């Protein structure tokens, strides 16, 4: 009888062990099945508002599995300038377009966010106290408005005149008769131009 009981114990033991292992492994998450969420899920960036902080969040109640690896679909549109824990800071380049940032944890769970990069929505304008300089008048004030400092000024034909001063308002000085184009470019690279003509004396 003792031999029968011992034999039954030997036969049942492996089954119990296998069942126990199955229960234990069943408590672990399968690789890449829980999914990540990235917040914000979409963002629009302009040259003046060019950075955003993304946060990876696990879709279930389990703790986030660090470290998080961040990657970009198109690195020419921007770069990840810093990351720590579950967050990453993205900075756009001067190019416009659509990019995607991906967060991936150590178990292969992934989350995505869409990045839309557009030009500035404001309008830069430039005006002059006079667009036609008559005989005896060779200077006028040129003013930029609606842009972002600093401003850079240039003339299309330096032989016809030049600008002096800095900031949003400068002085255009004409050196001879003819039409010249004065261009201003603001801190975000947005530009505007105006033509000023000096008549012959």
Express each pLDDT in 152-163 by its tens digit.
999 999 999 999
Unique residue bearing structure tokens 């000096």? 198
Domain edges within the chain: 36-117, 125-198
Residue 60 is predicted with a pLDDT of: 66
CATH for 125-198?
A: 2.60.40.1080
Q: What percent of the chain has pLDDT over 90?
A: 65
Residue 159 is predicted with a pLDDT of: 95
- Same topology between domain 36-117 and domain 125-198: yes
Band (pLDDT 50/70/90 cuts) for residue 62 is low
- Mean pLDDT calculated for residue range 50-73: 87
CATH for 36-117?
A: 2.60.40.60
**Contact yes or no for 170/196 (Cβ under 8 A):** no
Identify the bridge partners of residue 98 per DSSP, sorted by sequence position: 116
CB neighbours of residue 100 within 10 Å = 14
CB neighbours of residue 70 within 10 Å = 18
CA 90/CA 2 separation, integer angstroms = 72
């Amino acid at each position: 009888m003792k031999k029968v009981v011992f034999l039954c114990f030997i036969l049942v033991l492996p089954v119990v062990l296998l069942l126990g292992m199955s229960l234990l492994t069943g408590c672990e998450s399968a690789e890449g099945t829980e999914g990540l969420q990235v917040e914000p899920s979409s963002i629009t960036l302009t040259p003046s508002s060019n950075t955003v902080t993304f946060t990876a969040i696990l879709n279930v109640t389990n703790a986030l599995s660090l470290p998080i690896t961040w990657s970009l679909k198109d690195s020419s549109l921007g770069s990840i300038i810093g990351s720590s824990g579950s967050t990453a800071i993205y900075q756009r380049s001067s190019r416009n377009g659509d990019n995607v940032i991906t967060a991936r944890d150590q178990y292969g769970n992934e989350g995505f966010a869409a990045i839309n990069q557009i030009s500035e929505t404001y309008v830069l304008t430039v005006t002059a106290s006079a667009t036609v300089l008559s005989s005896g008048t060779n200077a006028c004030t040129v003013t930029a408005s609606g842009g972002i400092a600093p401003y850079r000024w240039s003339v299309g034909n330096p032989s016809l005149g030049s600008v002096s001063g800095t900031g949003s308002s400068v002085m255009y000085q004409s050196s001879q008769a003819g039409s010249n184009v004065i261009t201003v470019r603001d801190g975000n690279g947005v530009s505007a131009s105006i033509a000023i003509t000096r008549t012959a004396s």
